[in-house]
Structure 1
């Protein structure tokens, strides 16, 4: 995909990505960077970001990481997402870095990290994605 097609206006961003405050930061040829806005409404009883929201951010990041290397005629869907929560995540910006680690003509494996404003990795994931032709 082209950088321009990934850098969509908010009207073109899916509702779930809008809820997460997803913002495409760029692609350096290997690593896709995406920022999310972890909001206070995402917190659990401990005052930290609930794991489901972090998993959604990782799912979104791995998908965009895959799309960054695919042609415009293809897309991906998540088959599995293995998530590891490492540290509590706080309200504020969280940056994802995603990279493709394996690819065949039908499948991809993408890894992603979530990094908080203090440069601490709070969660990681490995996604298995199915490559599909767009209809």
Structure 2
């Protein structure tokens, strides 16, 4: 296990999550590795794995915008599957679109290696104090 993945939660490790940072427009960039083990009978990435990537991307984007004493939990994840996703690198772009003291709304999209948006989601997150 590399230093980059040593502190990741098991689900993030499974998805091959890699935090890339914020781009010049302020969007969070997160890379995932879609594995052959994630495919369905059609040979494309099963929707549940894409939803997990979107949940992970929206959560890590939100955490990057919060002070260290706060965490978020997902209350809802409204997901759309737009195109079949292939095995390989999938990059998420995520941004906070609304925030109050207790809640945050984050939008994210998944883009495949060819630059095609394969899925997107809006997550509603609850902000909590770290236990």
TM over 0.5: yes
- Asked if the contact 1:83/1:125 (under 8 Å) is kept, the reply is yes
* Paired position in structure 2 for 1:53: 49
User: 1:88: Cα distance to partner?
Assistant: 0.1
* Paired position in structure 2 for 1:71: 67
How many residues align? The count is 128
* Paired position in structure 2 for 1:122: 118
Aligned partner of residue 96 in structure 1, secondary structure: strand
* Paired position in structure 2 for 1:26: 21
User: 1:102: Cα distance to partner?
Assistant: 0.2
CA RMSD after TM alignment:
1.1
* Paired position in structure 2 for 1:86: 82
Give per-residue Cα distances to partners, 1:56-112, cap 9 Å, x unaligned: 000000001101110111010000000000000000000000000000000000000
TM-score by length of 2: 0.95
Q: 1 CA distance for matches of 2:63 and 2:22?
A: 11
User: 1:9: Cα distance to partner?
Assistant: 2.8
TM-score by length of 1: 0.92
Structure 2 portions without partners, runs of 5+: none
Moved more, 111-120 or 8-17: 8-17
- Asked if the contact 1:48/1:89 (under 8 Å) is kept, the reply is yes
User: 1:11: Cα distance to partner?
Assistant: 1.3
Aligned partner of residue 65 in structure 2, secondary structure: coil
* Paired position in structure 2 for 1:15: 10
